[in-house]
Amino acid sequence: MTPPTPTPDPQSVSTSVTRSAFFIVATVNEDAASRAAVRAWCADVANLARAVGKRVPNGNLSCVVGFSSDAWDRLFGDPRPAELHPFREFGAGERVAVATPGDLLLHIRADQTDLCFELATQLMTRLEGAVTTVDEVHGFRNFDMRAMIGFVDGTENPTGTEADHFTVIGADEDPGFAGGSYVLVQKYLHDMKGWNALSVEAQERVIGRTKLHDIELDESVKPSCSHSSLTTLTDADGEEIKIVRDNMPFGRPGSGEFGTYFIGYARSPAPIEQMLENMFVGRPPGNYDRLLDFSHAVTGSLFFVPSQPLLEALAEREPGAAGTVDTADASPAQPPESEPSAAPGANGSLAIGSLKGAPRYE
């Protein structure tokens, strides 16, 4: 019997929620020197994280790096991750999941803000002159994991091996990119005056959970337009399809800015995109997420997160180079049999088209 192909070590995708997080989205400058600098930087990320983290061994410092579809083409060329594509907008009018510029994502986490700050400084210093920061958010853990709107966030996150199952690409799915993940980010701003004007009971109907105890409302009273209803997906067997959320509150009270930075990791972007379509368009259309009456998405980007060995090996990759990066842990990429497609099924189920080796949600 042929032993299973080992999956390369992923980046710190499913790390436990920390007390602080920095989110930096940047574009890569157009000149060849900038692209070369970013490629070389890929080999330094892990070393810099280790060096900074060593100063506070129990600080739980980690960093995840992701690349957009356009950035991958300009920096590394073919082959490319099978399901990487530009961010897809959903909705219309004032209720839109907007797409905004972003080639590079840094998701830095730690239990101390100074660790996040130091690592961000070191990483961005190495990229000076090669990238332009288009968005930077410093998030904080709010009491007992509460979102800015006062409800516990991330209750249904998978953990341990279950988290790996839902977030890490397997060796039989997209072989050249096994150990990788997809990550989608959005920055939401909240109308806190409007939200706080609602009664607690009305807020609970919007979210679909109790505010104090974080218990899901009974199906007999939970509205179909509640946030939890529209972001719950199941497969053909009725099993829930999960993602890992590491959302963080942020804000500037003096400026009246209150927000949530949404960040979701999955082994395919399709489940997260289906959640967004359910929220912004509705399931069925028109039955949209009522949380969007008080929350406005101002950014949106999709990135691929390479495995740790592939990230380091990308330092030697250039567009037009034949084959994949040669690492001990990465297998040659195989082209997909057809373009992936996603469509909603009955009862919120999700179907993904015939991509060879990809997870199938019927």
Q: Determine contact, residues 150/141, Cβ cutoff 8 Å.
A: no
The values of phi and psi at residue 331, to 5°, are: -90, 160
153 is catalytic: yes
- Active-site residue identified among 135, 153, 164, 289: 153
Distance (Å, rounded) from C-alpha 119 to C-alpha 109? 10
Bond into 284 cis (ω within 30) = yes
Counting Cα atoms < 13 Å in the Cβ hemisphere of 46 gives 16
Phi-psi map region of 74: left, alpha, beta (phi>0 left; psi -120 to 50 alpha)? alpha
For residue 96, the surrounding DSSP H or E stretch is: strand 95-97
Strands (E), 194-345: 233-234, 240-241, 244-245, 248-252, 257-266, 295-297, 301-305, 342-344
Q: Which two tokens stand for residue 345?
A: 């099924």
Residue with tokens 């009018």: 93
Distance (Å, rounded) from C-alpha 1 to C-alpha 3? 6
Distance (Å, rounded) from C-alpha 254 to C-alpha 247? 22
Burial 38-61 (b: 16+ CB within 10 A, else e): bbebbebbbebbeebbeeeeebbb
**Beta-strand pair 342-344/301-305:** unpaired
Distance (Å, rounded) from C-alpha 320 to C-alpha 298? 35
Which residues are catalytic, by number? 153
